[in-house]
Amino acid sequence: MNDFALKGNILHTAKMGELEIFPDAYLICADGICQGVFYEPPGQYAGIPVTDYSGLLIIPGMTDLHIHAPQFACRGTGMNAELLDWLNTRVFPEEIRFADMDYAARAYQIFADQMRKSATTRAVIFGTTHRNATLLLADLMEASGLVSYIGKVNMDRNAPEDLLESSADAAASDTRAFIRDVINKRYARTKPILTPRFIPCCGDALLFQLSKIRQEFDLPVQSHLSENPAEVELVKTLEPDAEFYGDCYDKYGLFGGESGTIMAHCVYSSDAEIRRMKENGVRIAHCPNSNTNLSSGIAPIRKYIHLGLRVGLGSDVAGGQTESMFRAIADAVQASKIYWRYINHHDKPLTFAESFYLATKGGGSFFGNVGSFETGYEFDALVIDDSKLPCPRPLSLADRLERAVYLGLDQTSITAKYARGLKIL
């Protein structure tokens, strides 16, 4: 048994948009599972170790539904380009470097170290097409203590030859080998995920192979969808018979399903595409920082929430400039304000508590019962010390949390971090 309690100011959003606040309370963990929040710990927990974080903020860990590990060295650079140019001039040349295992080891160690220090406890991660480098990434993420899905990327067209898989068959064989490698590693915290890059880089033969692999291993899927107008047009040209962009994935059973699918962006999804996402249970990774940096646009998140689609947040490093999920929360609110002002005045801006929910329980649900402190939820928690921000008067706990997020205290002030009950910081 590994039972313990944290004492402090506990805040979470078990329900969309409802910030619950428990000042000076106890959060109890037993065997990695949250036992709930208490002002007095129940008798059966008498004597368990209590770590006293009195005065600090205790909140759920964050889920990053969309991040590219090999692009970590690119973050905050080349930000004058739009999506397709940026891929060609910045991203593909960087990803090619991961053929070199020495480079991959240096780069992925930096990535894993930073993810450990971040607010993120759960991440769904793109690697590159390189099987060995991506397996190394999985090793390092397992060692980091985060719980994550790692995808070896598949792509066989419209990119430099050095980055492409040589054929659909070769891609399938390499991908199966990667999946078996991961299974054989018997990781406690790391799983594989199918990762067709996006339709411009994936031909039908490749998608067909992935559909077979999905059936064989019952894997979730991650990819990109309707991110940028030029990309959406390119997909129409490449796949004229598809009903809409997402239909290209759906034809091969890579768009929804029991094992789960995450589609990043969904800025320009048509009504038909949105209906299919809803029917198929496709999850949306909303990446507002990236969508701004690449001049893509603003995804209609209020509409998706209203329609009952499942939405979480993604940092999308390196379209997004930072892995900070606090930044993603604030960015989602900010983007929704501009959306409301200029694009659809019926779609009210996200509130802070709504965006906080998206970053915790919204995205966390991809991992099961993750992202709040409800009883039975996996124990992912952050302790934030905001005392370095001097203030001439006391602030409410709600204001302190909002301030911590807006001022990005996840970059400087995480005192402790737990993922599935394990203290990793």
Contacts to its own copies by CB under 8 A: 73, 75-80, 97, 103, 106-107, 110, 113, 292-293, 295-298, 321-322, 330, 333-334, 337-338, 340-343, 349, 351-352, 390-393, 395, 399, 402-408, 411-412
Distance CA 66, CA 61 (A): 15
Q: In terms of CB distance, is 8 or 319 closer to its own copies?
A: 319
Q: In terms of CB distance, is 208 or 340 closer to its own copies?
A: 340
Q: In terms of CB distance, is 22 or 352 closer to its own copies?
A: 352
Q: How far, rounded to the nearest angstrom, does the alpha carbon of residue 193 sit from its chain's CA centroid? A: 13
In angstroms, give the least distance from the CB of 108 to its own copies. 9
Q: In terms of CB distance, is 285 or 335 closer to its own copies?
A: 335
Q: Are residues 252 and 199 in contact, defined by beta-carbon separation less than 8 angstroms?
A: no
In angstroms, give the least distance from the CB of 101 to its own copies. 12
Q: In terms of CB distance, is 328 or 404 closer to its own copies?
A: 404
Distance CA 170, CA 372 (A): 42
Q: In terms of CB distance, is 55 or 76 closer to its own copies?
A: 76
Q: How far, rounded to the nearest angstrom, does the alpha carbon of residue 220 sit from its chain's CA centroid? A: 14
Closest of 4, 22, 7, 3 to residue 401, by C-alpha: 22
Q: In terms of CB distance, is 74 or 282 closer to its own copies?
A: 74
Residue identified by tokens 């018997």 is: 186
Calculate ∠ Cα 183-189-191, nearest 5°.
40
In angstroms, give the least distance from the CB of 338 to its own copies. 6
Q: Are residues 267 and 302 in contact, defined by beta-carbon separation less than 8 angstroms?
A: no
Alpha helices in 245-396 (DSSP H): 245-250, 271-280, 288-293, 301-306, 325-338, 352-357, 363-364
In angstroms, give the least distance from the CB of 74 to its own copies. 9
In angstroms, give the least distance from the CB of 317 to its own copies. 11
Name the β-bridge partners of 265. Answer: 225
**Residues 6 or more apart in contact with residue 370 via CB below 8 angstroms:** 63, 122, 361, 364, 377, 378, 380
In angstroms, give the least distance from the CB of 61 to its own copies. 21
In angstroms, give the least distance from the CB of 408 to its own copies. 7
Query: What is the per-residue DSSP string for 120-179?
Result: EEEEEEE--S-HHHHHHHHHHHHHHT-EEEEE-EE--SSS-TTTS-S-HHHHHHHHHHHH
